[in-house]
Structure 1
Amino acid sequence: MRILMCIMKPFLSAYPPVISFIQHHLSFPTELFTNNMTSEKYLYFAGPKGELYKTWVQNLSCQGNPTPGVEYLDGFGTLIDNNGQMNVVKYSMLPPSVSFNDFQAYNPRHPRNLALSAIKGFRNSIEFTAKRGIRIDSILKNMNSSMRFFDSSLISFYQDYVLWSYKLRLTRLLNNDFSLTVVSVGSTLGEKIKKKKNGKSYPSTQKTPSIIDANIHAIDPYHNEPTQLEWETLPDGGLSCSKLFTIQDLLYYTNTDDGEIHFSFSAIISRFFFSINSIIDVEEDDTEPKSSVHKILNGHKPRGADWEITGSVDCCCCDSGSPIPIYSVHLASFTKTSKAVNNLQEDISKMMESITCFEGFTDQMLRLAIEIAYEDKVSLPRKGTYVRHLYGRLREMFGDHFTSVVIPQWEIAICRVALDLNKHSPSSSMVELLHLINIIWECPCGSFPIAKNVAIGVLADMAHVNAKTSVQQWVQDEVIPHLKKSCIECEHIPSILAYFWKLMDSVEDVKKKGRTETNNNEEIPSSAVK
């Protein structure tokens, strides 16, 4: 009888919990208030720096047992009480001059029956316009502190599932004057993302948009003409205004109703930038699996195979209770792509007559590992898979090859599947879409920046194209019932819905219209939107 050799090296140790993209975790508020005039529910809770937030609550019942608490993303979040009741919330700073009854419930303003990327006419450029404010009390309070940067909320430009965000920033200089810049943030809605090796938080294939023209104005609170500001382009794609503001200037431009200094920002950007095909190839892939991989995965022994591998029969993460098959592979293929296996090559070679068991590997993990080792097209994780565990095992086995080769493959595959879903029939597409979203959320934040916006964008389009009631009710009727069928990890539901609300609100908050620019001769590829 042959010996079963188990590999239990450090590279197969349990993977730590995935990094959450949520900015803050707040304690659950103890008081819930009701506006007697509108019967809308509100709650107050303290923010991470002690600021007071006031929220409107939309009840959503949830299957499963999410962790009680509040998780939010720059203005939107999902609150879950101790009974598992889910509530979608929108919060804002509560200025002293705003009364309790002034707070309005969030309701999407985007026209119904239109996708988020809908725009009047097809033009080769798009003009985006938004207004933002920066709080004066934060500036005054920190005049003698080390704090120098004062930012507005994000301004997100979105079209055809491609996103790019900016923010306005007042910087306090050494002489206590202030400069205004438009900061190019990247493909994000505000979540914290671990920066990549190139120092950027967005994919290297997505370049910073080139601004064809822009207008920046300081809005006069006394209804005089807005002050137009001269600007120049910065190397990182942002803009810098030449005018410097004194503290007296900022006080003059402060709106006494909300305590903010308001600016307007408009920019014209080529439509080409918002083509998903200009970032990644989402065209249908007809590539057939390699014949050797096909044979191995079907239980056959290919010519020259010199190594037999299997997984843990009694692993708690196994896809089923049945024993995991034994696969005959070429050791050289694994040593080429896996530094971990290469380091163990000498030990493995001494026991080539044995079956090597990868401790903690399920059958699906082994099959994916074989596809990776042979540098074949790597399949997406199946529905019901504990993706976080799978990611950790494969990441530690294949190292940089996994993150630089496999993760981009998965991102392309997620985009292809999501864009191909029938947006007019949520009942037939929702389970598959939620499965894709679960893969995105189970992997470390920043792994799929493009696919994240595509998948949530498709979900938002479904909500707008199909909803005959409110979007909140559509989520309750169409999304919540499919959560269990999609095998989505319940802990991700609050942050997924927070990102969903945030994307819709960000798109609605920026006006856009088609433009024809004679100095822009780029060929515009066909849109990925269906």
Structure 2
Amino acid sequence: MIVYHAHIWWNYGYKLTLHGDKPNRMYFSFLLVDLGPRATTNESLPRGALKTNTLNNQLSPKASNIYLRIGYRKDNEFISIVEAPLRPTTRMGGYYLDNAITYTHLNNLLSDNDVITFRVSLQVEREYFNIGKLGDIKSLAIIEERNVRTLESVLKGKKSSNSDFIFTRGDSSANDSTDYYVHKAPLAYTSITLRSIFDKKVSLPTDQILIESGEDRIIFPFLSESDMKFLLTYLYTERISLPEYNRFARVGRVISFLFDRDRLINIFTQWQRLIIESILEADDNQKVVIAMRSLIAIYSAPYGALPIAKRVAISTLADQIARQGDELTDKIKEDEEFKKYSIERILESALKLKRLITAVKKTSYD
């Protein structure tokens, strides 16, 4: 069972337990158990994971007016034959009803009906469903306007009198390369890896960053001009922007070697904020496209790097599928922009979430 609203969800499990030793004294208790933001628990992290793929500070919602209703459907109408409140229990952090239904009563219902329905209703304060507060989405830090003019000159490929190193993008043998005349001091300040390269000419165990031992040059063979703009902007000014959605993997591989863990987490945190803003601010007719682009980027990033952005993007896509019908997934598969990517896992996740959230009836008590 899932409680869902505004990109936030919480999973519950439920359990029927038979008590008693004689048929006329046997009854079922009902336990509603907190599972958490994910339905599965105790999963091991995949190799290369940055952190868990959940909101670390998400707690169980403080629910009230929790009721269990047991009944059956007749002519598309739910007929309730048992209705009782659930009480909080310290047992596994859930809600409990001791005598939900007797063994005899349940058997009689099953003999007369093919399906017996157990319905749980509860109230949760709207404030709980605040993705910004729950996810601690912080605004971009105000960065001192340092090295801005120098950066502009570097991005234009200009060589200044005090430039003392060269970054090369692409493959010069294929006539597809760009030289950037950079400055070691500001780059060494931002990246301890670059500082080591500048001082000791150390090589890195990757083909993403090639160190030329005979000259003051680093080659980034797989980065595009837009990738280099992101990288150089951060190195010079610490300002963070979003790479193109289909470049996250390339950029991610490079920055994972250049920056320490704290800087990486900060970069991903700000990418997350920018992704969420782009989705929430998108017009209705652009939500599918923005959500898909975001999910392609998110799925190519390290596991757990963008958990809140993933929630917002996947629930936005699931909502659009619920509105437009499952055939929307076929349209996405046939879209020229997306058909070249491996999107099956993305669409399967969105369909699964759609089935869960559309099964939850929500009523406002405002």
Q: TM-score, normalised by structure 1?
A: 0.51
Equivalent residue, structure 2, for 1:525 = none
Structure 1 residues 336 and 409: alpha-carbon distance in aligned structure 2, compared to 1, 3 A threshold: same
Q: Is the 8 A contact 1:309 1:355 kept in 2?
A: yes
User: What is the Cα deviation at residue 209 of structure 1?
Assistant: 4.8
Equivalent residue, structure 2, for 1:168 = 13
- 2:3 equivalent to 1:156: yes
Equivalent residue, structure 2, for 1:442 = 300
Letter in 2 for 1:435: R
- 2:89 equivalent to 1:232: yes
User: What is the Cα deviation at residue 361 of structure 1?
Assistant: 4.5
Pick one of 275, 296, 299 that aligns with 2:157. 299
Q: Is the 8 A contact 2:184 2:198 kept in 1?
A: no
Pick one of 231, 245, 270 that aligns with 1:409. 270
- DSSP-derived class of the 2:157 partner: coil
- More relative contact order in 1 or in 2 (CA 8 Å, sep 6+)? 1
Equivalent residue, structure 2, for 1:118 = none
Equivalent residue, structure 2, for 1:323 = 177
- 2:309 equivalent to 1:309: no
Structure 1 residues 170 and 293: alpha-carbon distance in aligned structure 2, compared to 1, 3 A threshold: farther
Structure 1 residues 381 and 500: alpha-carbon distance in aligned structure 2, compared to 1, 3 A threshold: same
Counterpart CA distance in 2 for 1:218 and 1:453 is: 30
Q: Is the 8 A contact 1:381 1:439 kept in 2?
A: no
Letter in 2 for 1:347: K
Equivalent residue, structure 1, for 2:132 = 277
Letter in 2 for 1:165: W
Counterpart CA distance in 2 for 1:201 and 1:171 is: 30
- 2:341 equivalent to 1:490: yes
Counterpart CA distance in 1 for 2:191 and 2:101 is: 59
- DSSP-derived class of the 1:309 partner: strand
1:99-118 pair list within 5 angstroms? none
Q: Is the 8 A contact 1:284 1:416 kept in 2?
A: no
Counterpart CA distance in 1 for 2:5 and 2:12 is: 14
Counterpart CA distance in 2 for 1:474 and 1:449 is: 24
Letter in 1 for 2:151: V
Pick one of 480, 483, 502 that aligns with 2:352. 502
Equivalent residue, structure 1, for 2:187 = 333
What do the CA deviations read for 1:3-50 (whole angstroms, capped 9, x no partner)?
A: xxxxxxxxxxxxxxxxxxxxxxxxxxxxxxxxxxxxxxxxxxxxxxxx
Q: Is the 8 A contact 1:219 1:227 kept in 2?
A: no
Which deviates more, 406-415 or 357-366? Answer: 357-366
Counterpart CA distance in 2 for 1:463 and 1:367 is: 35
Equivalent residue, structure 1, for 2:218 = 356
Larger helix proportion of the pair: 2
Counterpart CA distance in 2 for 1:361 and 1:307 is: 18
User: What is the Cα deviation at residue 443 of structure 1?
Assistant: 1.7
Counterpart CA distance in 2 for 1:381 and 1:179 is: 50
- DSSP-derived class of the 2:124 partner: strand
- DSSP-derived class of the 2:240 partner: coil
Counterpart CA distance in 1 for 2:274 and 2:14 is: 37
Letter in 1 for 2:45: K
Q: Is the 8 A contact 1:166 1:183 kept in 2?
A: yes
Structure 1 residues 310 and 247: alpha-carbon distance in aligned structure 2, compared to 1, 3 A threshold: farther
Equivalent residue, structure 1, for 2:24 = none
1:76-475 pair list within 5 angstroms? 154-159=1-6, 162-170=7-15, 180-186=31-37, 188=38, 194=45, 201-204=53-56, 207-217=58-68, 219=70, 224-232=81-89, 238-241=93-96, 243=98, 263-278=118-133, 279-281=135-137, 291=148, 292-300=150-158, 305-313=163-171, 322-331=176-185, 333-334=187-188, 336-338=190-192, 340-348=193-201, 354-358=216-220, 360-374=222-236, 376-385=238-247, 387-423=248-284, 425-426=285-286, 431-463=289-321, 467=324, 471-475=325-329
User: What is the Cα deviation at residue 510 of structure 1?
Assistant: 0.9
In structure 1, the gaps of 5 or more residues are: 1-153, 517-530
Counterpart CA distance in 2 for 1:250 and 1:305 is: 85
Equivalent residue, structure 1, for 2:25 = none
Structure 1 residues 475 and 198: alpha-carbon distance in aligned structure 2, compared to 1, 3 A threshold: closer
Structure 1 residues 246 and 434: alpha-carbon distance in aligned structure 2, compared to 1, 3 A threshold: closer
Structure 1 residues 198 and 362: alpha-carbon distance in aligned structure 2, compared to 1, 3 A threshold: closer
Structure 1 residues 327 and 233: alpha-carbon distance in aligned structure 2, compared to 1, 3 A threshold: farther
User: What is the Cα deviation at residue 207 of structure 1?
Assistant: 3.1
Counterpart CA distance in 2 for 1:445 and 1:197 is: 5
- DSSP-derived class of the 1:194 partner: coil
- DSSP-derived class of the 1:381 partner: coil
Q: Is the 8 A contact 1:180 1:244 kept in 2?
A: no
Structure 1 residues 303 and 456: alpha-carbon distance in aligned structure 2, compared to 1, 3 A threshold: farther
User: What is the Cα deviation at residue 398 of structure 1?
Assistant: 1.9
Letter in 1 for 2:351: W
User: What is the Cα deviation at residue 281 of structure 1?
Assistant: 4.6
Counterpart CA distance in 2 for 1:250 and 1:168 is: 23
- DSSP-derived class of the 1:182 partner: strand
Counterpart CA distance in 2 for 1:337 and 1:254 is: 69
Q: Is the 8 A contact 2:167 2:219 kept in 1?
A: yes
- DSSP-derived class of the 2:178 partner: coil
Letter in 1 for 2:154: I
Counterpart CA distance in 2 for 1:248 and 1:342 is: 73
- DSSP-derived class of the 1:511 partner: coil
Letter in 2 for 1:498: E
Letter in 1 for 2:326: Q
Q: Is the 8 A contact 1:193 1:445 kept in 2?
A: no
Query: What percentage of residue pairs aligned between the two structures are identical?
Result: 16
- DSSP-derived class of the 2:171 partner: coil
Q: Is the 8 A contact 2:265 2:305 kept in 1?
A: no
Structure 1 residues 304 and 266: alpha-carbon distance in aligned structure 2, compared to 1, 3 A threshold: farther
Q: TM-score, normalised by structure 2?
A: 0.71
Letter in 2 for 1:490: Y
What do the CA deviations read for 1:500-527 (whole angstroms, capped 9, x no partner)?
A: 22232222111111124xxxxxxxxxxx
